Amino acid sequence: MTTTIPRSTHSNPAPGQPVDIDHFIAGRVDARGASARTVVYNPATGQVTGHVAVATPADVDAAVAAAATAFPAWAATPAHVRARVMFRFRDLVDQHSDRLAAIITSEHGKVLSDAKGEVTRGLEVVEFACGIPQMLKGEFSENVGRAVDGVTFRQPLGVVAGISPFNFPAMVPMWMFPVALACGNTFVMKPSEKVPTLTVELAKLLTEAGLPDGVFNVVHGDKVAVDALLTHDQIEAVSFVGSTPIAEYIHTTASAQGKRVQALGGAKNHMVIMPDADLEQAVSALMGAAYGSAGERCMAISVAVPVGEETANALRERLIAALAELKVGPGTQPEVEMGPLVTDVHRDKVASYIDIGVQEGAELVVDGRGQRVPDGGDGFFLGGTLFDHVTPSMRIYLEEIFGPVLSIVRAASFEEALQLVNDHEFGNGTAIFTADGNTARTYLAQVKAGMVGINVPIPVPMAFHSFGGWKRSLFGDHHIHGPEGVRFYTRNKTATTRWPDDSQVRADFSMPTHE
């Protein structure tokens, strides 16, 4: 909810008092238009920790204007010089990684080890961006005609925007802006208002690394800010990660304005467990993939598909035992394995899906509602939940829950399991656990999903590959980061050149050929 909140002192708040989180425009923290603010919580305690500014269209205009002003000089900066900024930024993020992870845990709730891993995965994209001179090398063909040469190269788009979700405050923005900046674009970032602090901290580190003022800007806010970005005539491209309904809206709205769009949507990731799988390994993988980060991951496994009744029964019993040992609590406690959900509203939404599953006739094997957490205060906790005998017609199977809820859908055969995955509207990621190479190879070849794990539960590719799903998990033609990211943030230009001598001055009225 947006409201008018009295300002606190951003730089020196009283101990324990909420801080103000402002925009970052033209190289500095910018509090313009910040009379309207929304609250930021610590999910582990339920306490308000901050008040984040909510941008107006005028605030977005200011950020875009700063980026547009900075673009010509930044685009003209040699690629290897831009890469040096990325190198320095990489070192600074690494030096501050513990502090950045603590910020993530305080606003998102995920455990510290997970937050540190998120920073590391984001850094991998920065490291990829450090090699941008190699990625921007063009092509040259000598003598495509007599004394005619051909050359192809890539140029930046201009001002581009990124809109990121709450679940990865560091990693998802770093999937976007390092590649965009290294390619010579300038950037306006709109992070989730639920987790706003981290992106501003990254902006400060970019400035410290030598990024010129205005090249990277941050605006906070809600749908008003998003729509201002989607329709702004100086924004050339938009990157988005979030739910499928919003991804589709982003793609439709921005595309209608003639912008490039990569909009990554939701998921319902299946993990197929074959009878020959190492069941202990599979259960361990499922626990981390389903309940890590409280299931608030677009690559979380939310559907387990054991093949055969014997496999299903054994998997179920092992999962029940593992869930009994799952340690839930504040993410700052070293022994905790799963923290709270990001807000009370989101926790209640996830809990409502548990109600729906029971109403639809699924067997609720482990119920996470009413999870009690010592020292949890008023935190937004929900325990790990397990359903069995879930069918493909149930809402808990069809819809993305985005919480610590795992459904077991039993399959009689490999073919039935494969068909389940392929019939679902989402196609983000999937995994299969098996000891048989032919089964794995067949699954990889025939499954309709963008990212596949073979005995790997969360197959997020390394930064030098590209991340993205199929079907209604992706809107747009380009996956994010890696080579696809470079193509998204640049456009191709081809030149055909000739330097004639004095004998080549006669007009030619025929169609040009290279004969």
Q: Using the 8-state DSSP alphabet, how is residue 474 labeled?
A: E
Rounded CA-CA distance 22/208 in Å is 18
Q: Using the 8-state DSSP alphabet, how is residue 329 labeled?
A: S
Q: Which residues are catalytic?
A: 298
The two structure tokens encoding residue 437: 């190479």
Rounded CA-CA distance 340/347 in Å is 8
Q: Using the 8-state DSSP alphabet, how is residue 132 labeled?
A: H
* Residue positions counted in the chain: 515
Rounded CA-CA distance 234/415 in Å is 50
* DSSP one-letter string for 211-272: PPTTSEEE---SHHHHHHHHH-TTEEEEEEES-HHHHHHHHHHHHHTT-EEEEE----EEEE
Rounded CA-CA distance 203/196 in Å is 12
Q: Using the 8-state DSSP alphabet, how is residue 478 labeled?
A: -
Q: Could you tell me which of 232, 65, 241 has the C-alpha nearest to residue 162?
A: 241
Rounded CA-CA distance 120/174 in Å is 10
Rounded CA-CA distance 2/35 in Å is 10
Sign of CA dihedral 286, 288, 292, 296: negative
Asked if 338 and 379 count as a contact pair (C-beta separation under 8 A), the reply is no
Q: Using the 8-state DSSP alphabet, how is residue 293 labeled?
A: G
The two structure tokens encoding residue 142: 């000598």
